[in-house]
Amino acid sequence: MTKKTFSTAINDALHEAMRIDQSVICYGLGVTDPKAVFNTTSNLEKKFGSERVFDMPTSENAMTGVAIGAALNGIKSVITHQRIDFFLLAMDQIVNGAAKWHYMYGGQSSIPITIRLIIGRGWGQGPTHSQNLQAWFAHIPGLKVVMPTSPEDAKGMLLSSIFDPNPVIFLEHRWLHDTLGDVPSGDIRVPLGKAKIVKAGTDITLVTMSYMTVEAVHAANYLEEKGIVCEVIDLRTIKPLDWKTIMDSVAKTGRLLALDSGFTTGSVSGEVVARVAMEKFSILKSAPTRLAMPDVPEPTSLALTKGFYVRASNIAEKVMDMFGKNTSDIKKDLPEPSPHDVPGEWFKGPF
């Protein structure tokens, strides 16, 4: 199988969906511009024409409602926004409209739309270009929330999202766009609502999502050297959440650390901790816990984001602490990369 980047995998999925189904359309600011939303929408207009693939006015709310209306008559829209933050202008249409439509009209019509939103961290993106608001959407009944980590899942889950009969919020972490992985060709579907055990283990369950999975695996590899074998569960879908996989794992390990790329209060990780505490209290060997972003807007300055993000070192520290082990070497063993505000050398700036 050929290795492909996460963004190529997204592009593959869009091509595939548009090829097999005439009713799929794709629009958003910049989808037809030369940068093609980090190359995720490349060649779509060329292949499928400007009726089905188009740029749009800077009108996030209206264009979400437009997708709802079109959906009522059988059009499956995939809308893209370069930052989740821009989509906040569309909360009315997505929350008051799309999310509840099927329910509030007695199940008669449904809204099969997919909203691709890019989340991130770092490189001076600052308070309004870096938010990870998955919990907001997960809070709303009727929305599905998807956060893939691997390129294969990105493709397979985007296809599943597009052909899901409900509104799906599809969150892509900017720091994953250039990561490589095997991506099968053709119409591959990865089911929504199913978590993936990316690393099997016996001692503690790490529940994670999206880019945090990368840090979690990094930490788990380190911890293994120290004699703690973590089971790492990549949620992949935030809503509906795959409780069975989590509960089965915790039943085995007796310990839970839930990770999150969003703010701490009201986070998805908080929900995971709550449910595990409620259902597995009697078998837990230590208090379930979580690591998420502080309840602070992300600052812009390079100096202020130092040590600001949850990193492999923080995860390892937390786990060692739960096992009553000495954590003094961790900062030295797992130093924050320098510069700390980019996913890798390739990243040269804001977009």
Partner 1 sequence: MVHPIDSSSIENSLSLFHQMYRIRMVEEEISRRYPEGKMRCPVHLSTGQESIPAAFALSIKKNDFAVSTHRGHAHYLAKGGDLKAMIAEIYGKATGCSKGKGGSMHLIDLNVNFMGTSAIVGNSIPVGVGLALSAQLKGTDQISCIFLGDGAVEEGVFYESVNFAAVRKLPVLFICENNLYSVYSPLSVRQPKGRSIANMVDAIGVGTGTCNGDDIYSSQKLMQNAVNKVRSGTGPYFLEFSTYRWREHCGHDFDNDLGYRSEKEFLEWKSKDPLINLEESLYKTGVKLGEKVDSIKASINSEIISAFKFAETSKFPDQIEAYQDVYAKEELSK
Ligand X SMILES: Cc1ncc(C[n+]2csc(CCOP(=O)(O)OP(=O)(O)O)c2C)c(N)n1
What are the residue numbers of the active site? 60, 129
Nearest to ligand X of 77, 82 (CB atom): 82
Q: Which amino acid is at 224?
A: E
* Interaction site with ligand X (CB under 6 A): 29, 58, 60, 82, 86, 89
Q: List beta partners, residue 172.
A: 118
Site map 236..275 versus partner 1, x via CB under 8 A: ----------------------------------------
No. of helices (H) and no. of strands (E), the chain: 14, 14
Q: Give the nearest distance from C-beta 128 to ligand X in angstroms.
A: 8
Stretch binding partner 1 (CB under 8 A), from 49-57, 70-78, 111-119, 213-221: 49-57
| CA trace torsion 205, 297, 329, 212 (10° rounding) | 30
Asked whether the beta carbons of 166 and 144 are under 8 A apart, the reply is yes
Site for partner 1 in 300-319 (CB under 8 A): 300-308
What's the CA gap between 40 and 154, in Å, rounded? 11
Going by C-alpha positions, the residue among 112, 31, 106, 30 that lies closest to residue 75 is 112
Q: Is 296 in the site for partner 1 (CB under 8 A)?
A: yes
Going by C-alpha positions, the residue among 108, 96, 117 that lies closest to residue 37 is 117
Report what 153 binds from ligand X, partner 1, none; CB cut-off 5-8 Å by kind: none
C-alpha torsion sign, points 346, 349, 350, 351: negative
Going by C-alpha positions, the residue among 312, 342, 13 that lies closest to residue 178 is 342
Number of residues that bind partner 1 (CB under 8 A): 45
Nearest to partner 1 of 124, 193 (CB atom): 124
Q: Is 96 in the site for partner 1 (CB under 8 A)?
A: no
Report what 161 binds from ligand X, partner 1, none; CB cut-off 5-8 Å by kind: none
Q: Is 12 in the site for partner 1 (CB under 8 A)?
A: no
Burial bucket for residue 315 (CB in 10 Å: 0-12, 13-18, 19+): buried
Nearest to partner 1 of 277, 296 (CB atom): 296
Stretch binding partner 1 (CB under 8 A), from 153-161, 290-298, 312-320, 326-334: 290-298
Report what 229 binds from partner 1, ligand X, none; CB cut-off 5-8 Å by kind: none
Q: Give the nearest distance from C-beta 124 to partner 1 in angstroms.
A: 3
CB-based contacts of 50, cutoff 8 Å, min separation 6? 32
For partner 1, the binding residues (CB under 8 A) are 29-30, 32-35, 54-62, 85-86, 88-89, 123-129, 294-297, 299-308, 339, 341, 349-351
